């Protein structure tokens, strides 16, 4: 249910430190090269960098210095937030002839507008009246170097003389200005004018290339001549509200506007969709992060996961599956600063071969889609002759129709394997997993899944005395090595001091069987027929412009300490649902969606003033929800998220229409209306203050039916009244 409060229109946020081609509709070139840095503002961690050594060398800041000038003028009282000046379009300062190229607005420019348009006349004029001490104080507050002794202040005010600063330091300065609350000892009106001007620069001013590409940022550009060569600079933080990342581009042989375009090209949805941040596992357990083009990443994973001797059709089917998995699981290692690792926990990544590169190029951009959204798919080294359903491997996982358990004659049950483990080693693995006991006296199969895999094992001598087959395999693999239990399709026999395990297959058995697909391709099957066999009902289509991981990164998940381990799973689920709703509704996604799971039902009721049976309440871009375990136990987590995300996306367009419209649109697009009989549209009071869960259900069904009737009559959801 939506709380009846105003919900603002939010712009799209799409950001990652990525390396996209340095092109735009009219190609931008930087003859001397480009240096680029993107950082996480909260941790200082580098998201991506290119020729970063160039960004540690002091350069003239050009018009970026106008940020300092405006701050000094406002803080010193030289001008006020509404002080206007007319632009003369051309001015000479300290022998430098400067020309304004911004449009003539037909009236004096206000301070924020002057910063956005980078008006030389405005800043050279006010600089002549700003005390030098005020300028120096601003530089000190921002951690900037001091002015050169004797440098003319008007020239320094527009960044052509007297001040040199490493571009990397400009990111920190802008972050201080943007932060809420700001650490700077400046007046609120000073910060407000600066933020307005920097936001305007990225929308209609000198850095408008960012806004044109959908990047919501505070930014400023600068252009200077160094040794006879132009250098373009742009520095920014994004999103504009509560920024999380900062970036700077230095482009030699280009102008500031070109630097902004280069930055925008690296921050667009298409650029983000084509990149993966890969965590390379180090010997000490840490990760080294690199950013790879999606195609390079896919080619490396196919090299690491494919069966030996696979033909082109099998490699292409695997490449599509790998790309689908990568896009749907981008946030898996989000808290650690990258998308996916290079181990079996995610996808094994190796050096690409010529064959895997060709397979990747032949399937460029193709993924498996479920009703238009990137599907949640899996693949396994060998299903052992019978694939498995997800819920039989991961308890509580959904079992979509496209991931069935079925016999796979192509796999032929390979590989067959056998291993022996002592009771002492098995006990060590179990104790590492939290089991208690001094002697393991027995291990036997208690039950099997429909595919023949071990569902539960009975343990004698430890507590608890049962363990699932997958948990048993995982504990043995982590402690003793993954070579002992290659799958859960095994039989166990007591021998001497331990146990023998005889099994077949390798991996969890869900989804595409790599061995089976290789055999199918060898028999003449195409990549399309291979995918149809293992993923019935899915279609192959182009990777959406907004990747699943982007939506997942937009999610801020607030969980009580007891549920923190669920963050990644909730983020991935909510991101997938947001992707699907954005495409279905034809709207832009907000820069951030907050999911707040309350620790108790009572806390939810107190904070939202809603009855417990409402389950969720949305206000703006924040969704308040009942405790996670309550929603999971009731089996309504996904449906509730679906409904509330529609609210987040549609209320800005629907405005102050009756509550039945808002709730009915959410019910309709969340698939809840189920063609309920149309009687009359419910009143706001029935929806806002329902007397019971059943009363709310009836009112919601009626609202959905009212909206469905109008949509069937040909109205767009935006026009329902």
Give yes or no for residue 355 having a pLDDT over 50.
yes
Radius of gyration of the chain measured on its C-alpha atoms = 30
Nearest to 638 by CA among 536, 585, 401, 646: 646
Q: Between 469-480 and 423-432, two packed helices, what is the crossing angle to 10 degrees?
A: 100
Tell me phi and psi for residue 221, to 5 degrees. -110, 165
In a domain, 652, yes or no: no
In a domain, 334, yes or no: yes
In a domain, 309, yes or no: yes
Tell me phi and psi for residue 553, to 5 degrees. -70, -20
Question: For residue 386, what pLDDT is reported?
Answer: 92
DSSP 612: G
CA angle 135, 138, 143 (to 5 degrees): 125
Q: Edge to edge, what strands does the sheet with 245-252 contain?
A: 46-50, 33-40, 245-252, 229-238, 218-226
Range scoring the smallest mean pLDDT among 217-221, 421-425, 466-470, 549-553: 549-553
Give yes or no for residue 11 having a pLDDT over 50.
no
Judging by beta carbons within 10 Å of its beta carbon (0-12, 13-18, 19+), is residue 394 exposed, middle or buried?
A: middle
Last residue of a domain, one of 267, 291, 308: 267
Domain residues for the domain of 291 are 274-409+509-542
pLDDT digits (tens, 9 = 90+) for 509-530: 999 999 999 999 999 999 999 9
389/518 same-domain check:
yes
Last residue of a domain, one of 474, 504, 534: 504
Residue 515, token pair as written in the block: 């061995």
Kindly write down the DSSP assignment for every residue of 315-330, as one continuous string: HHHHHHHHHHHHHHTG
382/253 same-domain check:
no
Percent of the chain with pLDDT over 70: 89
* Angstrom distance (rounded) from CA 595 to CA 552: 11
359/430 same-domain check:
no
Report whether 550 contacts 269 (CB < 8 A).
yes
Within 8 A by CB and 6+ apart from 201, the residues are 115, 116, 117, 118, 207, 208, 218, 219, 220, 221
Report whether 504 contacts 516 (CB < 8 A).
no
- Name the one residue in this structure whose structure tokens are 């166990």: 492
pLDDT digits (tens, 9 = 90+) for 33-42: 788 888 877 7
Give yes or no for residue 698 having a pLDDT over 70.
yes
Which of 566-583 are b and which e, b meaning 16 or more Cβ less than 10 Å from the residue's Cβ? bbbbbbbbbbbbbbbbbe
Report whether 330 contacts 553 (CB < 8 A).
yes
Give the helix/strand (H/E) hosting 267.
helix 256-267
Q: How confident is the model at residue 26 (pLDDT cuts 50, 70, 90)?
A: very low
Question: For residue 74, what pLDDT is reported?
Answer: 96
Question: For residue 334, what pLDDT is reported?
Answer: 65
Give yes or no for residue 675 having a pLDDT over 50.
no
Pairing of strands 90-93, 96-99: antiparallel
Residue 536, token pair as written in the block: 């019935």
Within 8 A by CB and 6+ apart from 563, the residues are 597, 627, 628, 629
191/301 same-domain check:
no
Within 8 A by CB and 6+ apart from 674, the residues are 701, 704
229/327 same-domain check:
no
* Alpha carbon separation from 381 to 281, 328, 419, 603, 709 (Å, rounded): 21, 20, 18, 46, 49
In a domain, 95, yes or no: yes
SS3 for 556? strand
* pLDDT (average), residues 107-127: 91
154/249 same-domain check:
yes
Q: In the structure, how many helices (H) and strands (E) does the chain have?
A: 25, 25
* Angstrom distance (rounded) from CA 537 to CA 549: 23
112/157 same-domain check:
yes
Higher pLDDT, 222 or 32: 222
Other beta carbons within 10 Å of 691? 10
128/87 same-domain check:
yes
Give yes or no for residue 28 having a pLDDT over 60.
no
* pLDDT (average), residues 325-349: 82
Last residue of a domain, one of 458, 477, 504: 504
Tell me phi and psi for residue 459, to 5 degrees. -115, 135
In a domain, 704, yes or no: yes
Tell me phi and psi for residue 592, to 5 degrees. -155, 140
Residue 669, token pair as written in the block: 């697009």
Nearest to 52 by CA among 338, 247, 271: 247
* Angstrom distance (rounded) from CA 697 to CA 556: 29
CA angle 672, 673, 679 (to 5 degrees): 150
Q: How confident is the model at residue 550 (pLDDT cuts 50, 70, 90)?
A: low
Higher pLDDT, 346 or 17: 346
Residue 404, token pair as written in the block: 């069935």
Give yes or no for residue 277 having a pLDDT over 70.
yes
Q: Is the peptide bond before 371 cis (omega within 30 degrees of 0)?
A: no
277: left (phi over 0), alpha (psi -120 to 50) or beta: beta
* pLDDT (average), residues 256-268: 82
Number of domains in the chain: 4
Higher pLDDT, 23 or 145: 145
Report whether 322 contacts 364 (CB < 8 A).
no
246/156 same-domain check:
yes
Q: How confident is the model at residue 707 (pLDDT cuts 50, 70, 90)?
A: confident
Question: For residue 365, what pLDDT is reported?
Answer: 81
Pairing of strands 622-625, 593-597: parallel
243/388 same-domain check:
no
Question: For residue 43, what pLDDT is reported?
Answer: 66
SS3 for 694? helix
Question: For residue 105, what pLDDT is reported?
Answer: 72
* Angstrom distance (rounded) from CA 243 to CA 284: 33
* Alpha carbon separation from 512 to 347, 362, 482, 507 (Å, rounded): 14, 19, 21, 11
Nearest to 61 by CA among 114, 134, 175, 139: 139
Residue 319, token pair as written in the block: 């490449």
Instruction: State if pTM tops 0.85.
Output: no
Percent of the chain with pLDDT over 90: 38
492/533 same-domain check:
no
Q: How confident is the model at residue 415 (pLDDT cuts 50, 70, 90)?
A: confident
In a domain, 61, yes or no: yes
Question: For residue 552, what pLDDT is reported?
Answer: 58
Question: For residue 322, what pLDDT is reported?
Answer: 96
Higher pLDDT, 445 or 345: 445
Give the helix/strand (H/E) hosting 270.
helix 269-273
In a domain, 85, yes or no: yes
* Angstrom distance (rounded) from CA 88 to CA 70: 18
In a domain, 639, yes or no: no
SS3 for 284? coil
* Alpha carbon separation from 246 to 10, 36, 290, 534 (Å, rounded): 20, 11, 18, 43
Q: Counting every residue, how long is the chain?
A: 721
On average, the pLDDT of the chain sits at 83
* Angstrom distance (rounded) from CA 597 to CA 628: 6
CA angle 226, 227, 230 (to 5 degrees): 45
Question: For residue 571, what pLDDT is reported?
Answer: 79
Nearest to 365 by CA among 292, 298, 267: 298
Question: For residue 1, what pLDDT is reported?
Answer: 33
* Angstrom distance (rounded) from CA 391 to CA 402: 13
CA angle 520, 526, 530 (to 5 degrees): 55
Question: For residue 30, what pLDDT is reported?
Answer: 46
334/450 same-domain check:
no
């Amino acid at each position: 249910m939506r709380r009846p409060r105003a919900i603002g229109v939010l712009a799209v946020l799409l950001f990652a430190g990525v390396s996209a081609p340095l092109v735009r509709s009219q190609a931008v070139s930087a003859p001397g090269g480009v240096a680029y840095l993107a950082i996480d503002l909260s941790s200082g961690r580098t998201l991506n960098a290119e020729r970063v050594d160039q960004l540690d060398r002091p350069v003239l800041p050009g018009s970026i210095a106008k940020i300092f000038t405006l701050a000094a003028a406002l803080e010193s009282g030289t001008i006020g937030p509404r002080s206007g000046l007319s632009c003369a379009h051309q001015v000479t300062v300290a022998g430098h002839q400067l020309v304004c190229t911004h449009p003539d607005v037909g009236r004096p420019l206000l301070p924020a507008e002057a910063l956005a348009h980078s008006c030389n006349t405005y800043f050279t004029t006010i600089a002549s009246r700003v005390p030098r001490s005020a300028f120096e104080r601003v530089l000190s507050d921002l951690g900037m170097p001091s002015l050169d002794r004797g440098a003319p202040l008007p020239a320094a005010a527009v960044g052509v003389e007297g001040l040199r600063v490493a571009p990397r330091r400009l990111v920190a300065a802008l972050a201080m200005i943007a932060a809420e609350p700001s650490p700077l000892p400046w007046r609120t009106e000073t910060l407000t004018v600066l933020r307005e001007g920097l936001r305007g620069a990225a929308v209609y001013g000198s850095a408008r290339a960012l806004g044109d590409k959908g990047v919501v940022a505070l930014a400023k550009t600068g252009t200077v001549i160094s040794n006879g060569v132009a250098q373009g600079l742009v520095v920014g933080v994004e999103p504009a509200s509560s920024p999380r990342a900062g970036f700077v581009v230095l482009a030699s042989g280009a102008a500031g506007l070109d630097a902004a375009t280069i930055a925008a090209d690296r921050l667009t949805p298409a650029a983000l969709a084509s990149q993966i941040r890969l965590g390379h596992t180090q010997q000490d357990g840490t990760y080294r992060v690199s950013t790879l083009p999606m195609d390079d990443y896919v080619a490396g994973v196919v090299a690491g996961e494919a069966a030996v001797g696979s033909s082109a059709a099998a490699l292409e089917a695997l490449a599509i599956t790998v790309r689908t998995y990568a896009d749907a699981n981008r946030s898996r290692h989000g808290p650690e600063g990258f998308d996916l690792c290079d181990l079996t926990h995610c996808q094994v990544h190796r050096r690409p071969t010529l064959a895997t590169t060709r397979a990747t190029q032949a399937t460029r951009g193709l993924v498996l889609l479920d009703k238009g959204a990137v599907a949640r798919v899996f693949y396994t080294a060998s299903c052992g002759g019978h694939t498995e359903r997800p819920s039989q491997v991961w308890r509580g996982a959904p079992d979509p129709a496209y991931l069935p358990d079925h016999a796979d004659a192509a796999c032929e049950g390979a590989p067959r394997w056998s291993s022996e483990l002592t009771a002492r080693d098995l006990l060590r693995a179990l104790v590492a997993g939290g089991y208690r006991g001094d002697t393991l006296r027995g291990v036997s199969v208690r039950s099997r899944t429909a595919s023949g895999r071990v569902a539960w094992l009975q343990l004698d001598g430890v507590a608890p005395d049962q363990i699932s087959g997958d948990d048993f395999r995982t504990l043995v693999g982590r402690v003793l090595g993954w070579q002992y239990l290659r799958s859960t399709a095994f039989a166990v026999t007591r021998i001497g001091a331990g146990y023998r395990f005889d099994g077949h297959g390798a991996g969890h058995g869900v989804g595409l069987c790599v061995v089976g697909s290789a055999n199918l391709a060898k028999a003449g099957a195409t990549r399309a027929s291979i995918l149809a066999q293992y993923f019935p009902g899915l279609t192959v289509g182009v990777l959406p412009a907004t990747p699943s991981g982007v939506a997942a990164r937009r999610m801020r998940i607030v969980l009580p300490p007891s549920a923190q381990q669920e963050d990644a799973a909730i983020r991935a689920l909510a991101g997938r649902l947001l992707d699907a709703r954005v495409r279905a509704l034809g709207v832009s996604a907000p820069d951030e969606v907050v999911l707040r799971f309350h620790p108790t039902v009572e806390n939810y009721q107190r904070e939202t003033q809603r009855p417990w049976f409402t389950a969720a309440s949305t206000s703006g871009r924040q969704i308040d929800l009942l405790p996670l375990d309550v929603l999971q136990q009731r089996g309504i987590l996904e449906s509730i998220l679906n409904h509330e995300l529609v609210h987040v996306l549609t209320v800005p367009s629907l405005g102050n229409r009756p509550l039945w419209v808002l709730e009915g649109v959410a019910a309709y697009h969340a698939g809840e209306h189920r063609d309920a009989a149309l009687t009359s549209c419910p009143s706001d009071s029935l929806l806002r203050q329902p007397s019971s869960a059943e009363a709310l259900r009836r009112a919601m069904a009626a609202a959905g039916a009212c909206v469905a009737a109008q949509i069937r009559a040909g109205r767009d959801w935006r026009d329902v009244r």
